[in-house]
Structure 1
Amino acid sequence: MRHFAFTSMVLAATALLGACQAPQEVAKDYMQDCLWETRAKGSYKRATGKIGVNGLPVIVPNQGGDLRGALFINACIERRHIRAGTLPGVPEYDDGTGG
C-alpha cells in the first residue's frame, strides 16, 4: 500500500512540475510584418537555401517586387530580430590558418 501511495505522489509531482514549465518559444516570422511596414510594392519570397551573413534567410523579389524593396524588408527583419534578441549566431570565419 505504501508503494502505491508513494508512486501516486511521484506521478502527481511530475505532472505538476511539467505543467509549470515555460512553453517553448516559437521563432517569430517577421516577413509579413515587414512587408506592411516597408510598403514594398510587389511580392517577395525567401531565397531557397540562401542564408545571409546575419544568419537569416534572404528575401528576394518575386513578381512585381524590386531589389530596393527586398533590401528594406531584409533590413527590417534583421532589426526586429536584433530588438527581440533572436538574431541567429553568425558562424565564425575560418581562414584555414588554424588560429
Structure 2
Amino acid sequence: MAEEQNLEAIMGLIINGGNAKSSSMEAIQAAKKGDFETAAAKLKEADAALSEAHNSQTGMLTKEASGDHIEVTLLTVHSQDHLMNAITFRDLAGEVVDVYRKMAGLEVHTY
C-alpha cells in the first residue's frame, strides 16, 4: 500500500509538472501572438498545476520527516527533476510574457 501511495505521489509530480510546463509554453505562444488574456490564463493554469505538484511533494516530505522513509528510485529522482524544471520554466514564462507586453507598449505585470 505504501509503495502504491509513493508511486501515486511520484506520478502526481510528473504529470502536474508536465502540465505546468505545457501551460507555460502556451502562455509564451499566446503572448507572442499578442493574446495577453490567454497568456495570463495559461500562467494561472501553470500555477494551479504546480500547486497540485507541490501538494504531492509536501506529502512525500511529511512522510519522510515523520520517519516513514521513502525508497529513492530513479523514478523518484526523475519526478523531482521534472518538477524543478517546470517551476523554472514557469518563472521564465512569466518574464517572457512581460517582455512581449512591454514590446506591445502595454503595462508590465508580474506573473
Fold equivalence (TM over 0.5):
no
Larger strand proportion of the pair: 1
Select the structure with the greater relative contact order (CA < 8 A; seq sep ≥ 6). 2
Q: Which structure has the greater CA radius of gyration?
A: 1
TM-score (norm 1): 0.30
